[in-house]
């Protein structure tokens, strides 16, 4: 079962696949010609968290979270390492330049982190989901 959603001006294409008993993960496919850095945000039993960075090679897919998805909504922020610019949205979360796992989404700056907008991914409560990243970025590098 495939569902496709276009966000904004077609910058992102999100594809959800119904889970099979053998595999259930949150995956991202980088359908661009650039290496892309990816951070995710989600709410689990302990509250809000953001994590990064994964490097998605051009035209390849990678697993961000392994196992059955427990949340309906996940949040993604991605940076084009090769051409500049980023994909983001309105959900503000904490990040940092180096590999991170940050608990909580409040007081990012006061806690020594950066604050940036992530775009929302609605998994429709599926247990397995693939996000496809392509097209125009929300901001371009100088």
Can you give the three-state secondary structure of the chain, one letter per residue? CEEEEEECCCCEEEEEECCECCECEEEEEECCCCCEEEEEEEEECCEEEEEEEEEECCCEEEEEEECCCCCCEEEEEEEECCCCCEECCCEEEEECCCCEEEECCCCCCCCCCEEEEEEEEECCCCCCEEEEECCCCCECCC
Give domain status of residue 128, yes or no: yes
Domain annotation covers residue 21: yes
Higher pLDDT, 114 or 23: 114
Tell me whether residue 142 is in a domain: no
Print the domain residue range for 78: 2-133
Specify if 141 maps to a domain: no
In a domain, 95, yes or no: yes
What's the total number of domains in the chain? 1
What local confidence, expressed as pLDDT, does residue 87 receive? 95
- Tell whether 111 is covered by a domain: yes
Dump pLDDT digits (tens) for 22-39. 468 999 999 999 999 999
Evaluate whether residue 140 is within a structural domain: no
Would 102 be classed as within a structural domain?
Answer: yes
pLDDT given at position 138: 62
pTM, whole model, 2 decimals? 0.79
């Amino acid at each position: 079962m495939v569902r496709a959603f276009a966000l904004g001006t077609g910058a992102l294409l999100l594809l959800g696949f119904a889970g099979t008993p053998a595999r259930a993960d949150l995956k991202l496919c980088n359908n661009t010609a650039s290496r892309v850095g990816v951070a995710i945000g989600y709410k689990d039993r302990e509250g809000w968290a953001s994590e990064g960075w994964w490097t998605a090679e051009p035209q390849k897919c990678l697993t961000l979270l392994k196992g059955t998805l427990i949340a309906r909504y996940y949040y993604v922020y991605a940076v084009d390492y090769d051409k500049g610019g980023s994909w983001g949205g309105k959900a503000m979360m904490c990040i940092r330049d180096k590999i991170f796992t940050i608990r909580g989404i409040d007081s990012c700056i006061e806690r020594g982190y950066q604050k940036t907008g992530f775009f929302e991914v609605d998994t429709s409560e599926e247990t397995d989901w693939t996000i496809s990243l392509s097209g125009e970025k929300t901001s371009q590098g100088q």
